[in-house]
Amino acid sequence: MISIVIPTLNEEKIIGSTLDSLEAHFTLPHEIIISDGNSTDSTVAIARKYTDKIVLYSDLKRQTIAQGRNAGAAIAHGSFLVFLDADCTIMNPDEFFKIAIARFQEDNNLVALTVSLRILPQMETLTDKIILGIINFVDGFINNTLHKGHAPGEFQMMTRKAFDRVGGFNEKLIVAEDVEMFEKLSRIGKTLFESSLTVFQTGRRVHQVGWFRVLLSWAINAISNSFLKKSFSKEWKEIR
């Protein structure tokens, strides 16, 4: 079974369409788990229309996305864990996951898989195409050629055994916990960038903040995580 874990925080604008796109054409054995970080809007009420597997965070201190992912994984029953952002869409999930699962079946050393990212066609700009094209190429090169795991958090798929073996996501990191996860996974097995599969996202952050500032933030936090073992950013700004 596939366990899809979606962390949420005030996602009432998008979570319904995200879950609807998944459930409309998804017949493979699966479960959808919403890990909510104490939303103050109708996110949870909307999510309950699609799944009864909802983890609620109630601490006063803001939850990190790593905590949200780990909390969702804690109640998952699938042999595969999929971590998906709330504003991401998988077109034709049955066909998508048949291909993804086949990759694991073909290679016993494969512990994790990521895919190409694109902005939804109706929202995509030429800049989006160019920059994400470069990012996808780099991710493919790092995983498939250098064999050093690297993947953004929009979509990560891994075996449950591998997730448990590396101890889940690093909850101390505010940013780049996704990249660190794939780095850890690549030390215990093989990670793969599957270019034939694509996940679509809204691009809301890069469209509001701008690609330059987002890329700069990623770079600074990557350096901080590598050398200081902590995120430079104190909080990942909520953009809805």
Q: What are the structural domain ranges in the chain?
A: 2-228
Let me know: does 194 contact 96? Beta carbons within 8 Å: no
Which H or E run includes 7? strand 2-8
Q: pTM of the full predicted structure?
A: 0.91
Residue 210: the pLDDT is 85
Dihedral, CA of residue 56, residue 57, residue 63 and residue 65, to nearest 10 = -20
- Given this structure, which CATH class describes domain 2-228? alpha beta
pLDDT digits 0-9 by tens, 180-198: 999 999 999 999 999 999 9
Predicted confidence pLDDT, tens digits, the chain (240 residues): 999 999 999 999 999 999 999 988 899 999 999 999 999 999 999 999 999 999 999 888 889 999 999 999 999 999 999 999 999 999 999 999 999 999 999 999 999 999 999 999 999 999 999 999 999 999 999 999 999 999 999 999 999 999 999 999 999 888 889 999 999 999 999 999 999 999 999 988 889 888 878 777 776 766 666 655 666 555 666 766
